[in-house]
Amino acid sequence: MTDASARAASARPVPTAPVDGAVAPLDAVVFRWTAPPGTRVFDLRVATAAAPSDALFEVTGLPSTEATLAGALPAGDLLWWVRQEGGAWSAPARFHAGTQADVEIAHRAEAEAAARRRASERAAQASDIPDAPPPAPVWPYATGDALDGAPEVDWARVPGFGAPARAALPRAGAAAPTLLGPLGGEVADAGTVALRWTSVPGADRYEVELSPRTRFDADVLTLDAGGATELVLPGVVPAAGHKMLWRVRAHVGRGATAWSRYGRFYPADADTAERFSLAMDRARTAQRLQRDHARRVQQREMDLIPLHERPDAVTSQAMVTAILAMVVSSGLLIALAAVFAAVWL
């Protein structure tokens, strides 16, 4: 005998069903087991739990890993074994052969046990939910004319800033661009900050204005962005932490759109901008934790409501009623069609 054949002969099948005291219908028990590599023919043995050495049945030459004994087993606790032909028997597997009523009772008991496990798991999860929500997010958006500790800025001495030099142009029919960012008080790195906005159909170029003044009537820097919808400002504005407003309009043909609403940001040095970015990450995390807590609390409260009393169940009942009404209406239409056909034919 080769080593491979010796290993195949020593390997044993493993019973998989019925096992662990499962209830099976005595009039048709389906036995299943795993097959070791290289095995094709099996023997099956069944005995009572009270007398395991006395076989009730022993079936040989089974060609697959499944066999059904129909109407041959007595009611009660039974054991069964399986082996490859000529090999050693597997460990015994225990089951209970019962009537169909016994099987249904066992299935109900299993379903109830599963429901209790799920309820216990939900209760355990619910107990992990604190009643108090997590701390609210603290958004680090800046306000006011400048960041705390920002130095004074003489805008008359900043290159490019001065009286507005915009031309009076006919109003184009297109809508003004919409600003995408920065918008509402972000602290940005003055060396890398980029202004972004939406495109306007038919626009030839975009004109951008920046100013610390909301009226854009003084200390204005005007830039031509060409046809792009993004403008990077490497060192154009001072990194002093002062409020900077910006807006854009599109030039279309001989005219221009209205100015967009203005955005607001605070150009600063790279370290200050990095601290703002980290604070934004913390605020987003806090917001996510708050939303997750609210969702879990809502689910915990929903679990206490019976399924038929939940809002979605009411909707489902309404849908069922509507479907039944449609079915009834369809039936009436079919009946009327049959009557008309009988009359006219």
- Looking at residue 85, its pLDDT comes to 85
Residue 2: pLDDT above 80?
no
Confidence band for 343, pLDDT divided at 50, 70 and 90:
very low
Q: Residue type for 220, please?
A: V
Other CB atoms closer than 10 Å to residue 68's CB: what's the count?
A: 10
- Specify the 3-state DSSP secondary structure of 343: helix
- List of residues 6+ apart from 320 with CB closer than 8 A: none
pLDDT given at position 1? 45
Greatest mean pLDDT among 49-58, 224-233, 298-307, 310-319 lies in 224-233
- pLDDT (tens digit per residue) in 13-41: 999 999 888 899 888 899 999 988 877 89
State the average pLDDT over residues 119-131: 70
Crossing angle (nearest 10°) for helices 270-303 and 100-127: 140
| Rounded CA separation 73/52 (Å) | 14
Query: Tell me, what's the pLDDT at 303?
Result: 72
CA–CA gap between residue 345 and residue 334 (Å, rounded): 16
Buried b (16+ CB within 10 A) or exposed e, 179-208: beebeebbbbbbbebebbbeebeebeebbb
